[in-house]
């Protein structure tokens, strides 16, 4: 705790606190059917086209920007505390600017390679190259719910190209709440939110790709 509170470690303590705060914020957002990471990606994709160039080298795995930010904060903090721990054990703590530069140099290549690794572990979120209409008539699994007529939940499905998508959805009118883990059929899309019904029995054989007749 003494190292965490040392003035020479202030940049790394701030990074660790920001990492924890963003993680908690994203979890809270997901509980109400909203994604902070999705909002950031959409904002950068539509209003700041230069962002793709800035992050092209760093984000080798093509992970969402929020994931890349969390990786950067985490690895920067870890590298900084490790450098200061070694410095403290062998001599004395380095000045914060010197330690920050060293931690940045160590962390950035690690962020690049870790983004490639993380990209293999997490499913791709909704890609806007696919029209919403293409998802109507497909079955999906409820991953955040239950789906009712209030705040939208989340469903996950695979498209015809075998790419996974996570979409916002709620139960269609006159449908009861649909529990997490249930298989649903997407029957309509209104303002980017899909309406779902329990999957008819004859579509259960292939819930991620079956389309309406």
- Strands of 34-181 (E only): list them: 139-144, 153-158, 164-171
Q: Mean of the pLDDT values across residues 74-89?
A: 91
Window from 30-44, 107-121, 164-178 with minimum mean pLDDT: 30-44
Beta bridge partners of 101: none
Amino acid 184: pLDDT: 93
Q: What residue segments make up the domains of the chain, in order of their start?
A: 2-121, 132-203
**Residue 171 half-sphere exposure toward CB, CA atoms < 13 A:** 16
**φ, ψ dihedrals at 119, nearest 5°:** -60, -25
Q: What is the pTM of this model?
A: 0.55
Amino acid 2: pLDDT: 67
Q: Mean of the pLDDT values across residues 144-170?
A: 83
- Strands of the chain (E only): list them: 139-144, 153-158, 164-171, 183-190, 193-198
Amino acid 50: pLDDT: 40
User: What end-to-end distance do the CA atoms of the chain give, in Å?
Assistant: 62
| Residue with more model confidence, 87 or 119 | 87
Amino acid 20: pLDDT: 92
- pLDDT, tens digit (0-9, with 9 covering 90-100), for 126-153: 444 456 778 888 889 998 888 988 888 8
Amino acid 40: pLDDT: 66
Cα–Cα distance measured from residue 183 to residue 158, given in angstroms and rounded to the nearest whole number: 13
Cα–Cα distance measured from residue 127 to residue 165, given in angstroms and rounded to the nearest whole number: 7
Cα–Cα distance measured from residue 41 to residue 26, given in angstroms and rounded to the nearest whole number: 13
For 132-203, CATH gives: 2.40.50.140
Q: Mean of the pLDDT values across residues 84-102?
A: 90
């Amino acid at each position: 705790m003494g190292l965490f509170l040392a003035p020479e470690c202030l940049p790394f303590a701030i990074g660790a606190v920001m990492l924890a705060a963003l993680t908690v914020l994203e979890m809270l957002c997901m509980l109400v059917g909203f994604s902070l990471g999705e909002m950031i990606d959409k904002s950068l994709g539509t209003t700041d086209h230069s962002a793709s160039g800035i992050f092209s080298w760093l984000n080798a795995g093509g992970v969402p920007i929020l994931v890349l930010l969390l990786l950067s904060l985490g690895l920067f903090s870890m590298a900084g505390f490790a450098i200061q721990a070694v410095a403290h054990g062998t001599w004395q703590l380095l000045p914060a600017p010197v330690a920050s530069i060293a931690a940045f140099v160590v962390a950035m290549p690690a962020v690049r390679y870790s983004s490639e690794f993380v990209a293999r572990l997490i499913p791709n979120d909704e890609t806007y190259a696919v029209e919403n209409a293409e998802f109507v008539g497909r079955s999906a699994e409820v991953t955040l719910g239950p789906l009712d007529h209030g705040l939208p939940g989340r469903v996950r499905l695979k498209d015809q190209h075998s790419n996974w998508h996570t979409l916002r959805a709620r139960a269609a009118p006159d449908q009861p709440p649909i529990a997490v883990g249930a298989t649903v059929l997407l029957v309509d899309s209104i303002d980017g939110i899909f309406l779902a019904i329990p999957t008819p029995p004859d579509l259960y054989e292939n819930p991620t790709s079956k389309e309406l007749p």
